């Protein structure tokens, strides 16, 4: 260093083999990537804990403080990832929908009545192995009947999509001659949804007393026996 504290031209030259700015850049890049990975992992942990909390206590009975405590974060740390409780709920519902879509895309059900009903049986069989997801849906939709609930629009649109998808598949079945021509697709579709919801509620209340998947499977077999052409 010279008297002014700046590097002189001789000492400013890099020694052979020393790491210059170009070598430091990849290290900074690795640090950023590791930071992103850590942030993604922390966000995923928050979502999984929130899914459990909302499923057990509902939206109104769940506190951000409790979720932060379980995630080993301060509440401010949690709010760094999700700016509000409502934003966190939206992310949890998106996560739940993505889990469902892996099993059954409601916007793209199989064509025809019987394939669609059998796809719903497969979905119920899958749900029977995921009680936490079923409980989340049941608790939140029960709360969401009030229009001021943040999940109200989500629950309403989900039922509309499910009803429309099943009704459309059943209507295709009647038009193709697969199902009876006098079948009312809309009424039949809503009965199927009511059966699924009712069985889920009974199963959550007393899971050891009922095989939800077996009961729904038997219901679908009986229904197909009645509506096949």
CATH assignment at residue 40: 1.10.10.60
User: Is residue 20 in a domain?
Assistant: no
Residue 110: per-residue pLDDT = 78
221 and 108 together in one domain: yes
Closest CA to 68 of 82, 55, 57: 82
Closest CA to 139 of 87, 204, 82, 88: 204
64 and 90 together in one domain: yes
CA 30 from chain centre, in angstroms, equals 31
Residue 15: per-residue pLDDT = 46
The residue from 73, 95, 117 where one domain ends is 95
What mean pLDDT do residues 61-77 have?
95
CB 51 within 8 A of CB 95: yes
Task: State pLDDT tens for residues 136-169.
Answer: 999 999 999 999 999 999 999 999 999 999 999 9
What mean pLDDT do residues 108-118 have?
87
How many CB atoms are closer than 10 A to CB 50? 25
pLDDT of 100 > 80? The answer is no
User: Is residue 70 in a domain?
Assistant: yes
54 and 113 together in one domain: no
Residue 40: per-residue pLDDT = 86
Q: Who's near 227: CB < 8 A, 6+ residues apart?
A: 113, 173, 179, 180, 183, 188
Which alpha helices (DSSP H) does 58-184 contain, by range? 64-70, 75-81, 85-103, 113-127, 131-143, 152-176
Range of the domain at 185: 104-227
What mean pLDDT do residues 83-88 have?
95
86 and 120 together in one domain: no
pLDDT of 80 > 90? The answer is yes
Q: Give the C-alpha separation, 166 to 160, whole Å.
A: 10
Q: Give the C-alpha separation, 110 to 196, whole Å.
A: 18
74 and 121 together in one domain: no
116 and 207 together in one domain: yes
User: Is residue 198 in a domain?
Assistant: yes
Q: Which residues lie across from 228 on neighbouring strands?
A: 179
User: Is residue 22 in a domain?
Assistant: no
SS3 148: coil
What mean pLDDT do residues 168-188 have?
97
The residue from 95, 114, 135 where one domain ends is 95
Task: State pLDDT tens for residues 5-20.
Answer: 444 444 444 444 445 5
71 and 116 together in one domain: no
* Number of domains composing the chain: 2
User: Is residue 139 in a domain?
Assistant: yes
Q: Tokens standing for 154?
A: 């989500």
């Amino acid at each position: 260093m010279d008297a002014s504290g700046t590097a002189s031209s001789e000492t400013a030259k890099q020694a052979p083999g020393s790491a210059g700015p170009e070598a430091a850049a990849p290290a900074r890049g690795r640090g950023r990537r590791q930071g992103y990975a850590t942030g993604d992992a922390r966000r995923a942990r928050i979502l999984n804990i929130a899914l459990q909390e909302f499923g057990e206590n509902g939206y109104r009975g769940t506190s951000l403080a409790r979720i932060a405590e379980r995630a080993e974060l301060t509440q401010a740390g949690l709010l760094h990832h999700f700016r509000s409780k409502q934003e966190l709920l939206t992310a949890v519902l998106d996560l739940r929908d993505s889990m469902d879509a892996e099993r059954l895309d409601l916007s793209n059900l199989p064509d025809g009545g019987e394939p669609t009903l059998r796809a719903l049986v497969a979905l119920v069989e899958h749900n029977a192995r995921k009680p936490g997801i079923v409980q989340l849906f049941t608790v939140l939709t029960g709360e969401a009947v009030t229009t001021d609930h943040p999940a109200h629009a989500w629950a309403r649109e989900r039922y509309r999509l499910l009803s429309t998808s099943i009704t459309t598949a059943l209507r295709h079945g009647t038009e193709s001659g697969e199902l009876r021509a006098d079948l009312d697709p809309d009424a039949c579709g809503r009965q199927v949804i009511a059966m699924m919801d009712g069985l889920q509620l009974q199963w959550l209340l007393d899971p050891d007393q009922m095989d939800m998947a077996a009961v729904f499977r038997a219901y679908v077999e009986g229904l197909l026996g009645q509506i096949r052409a």
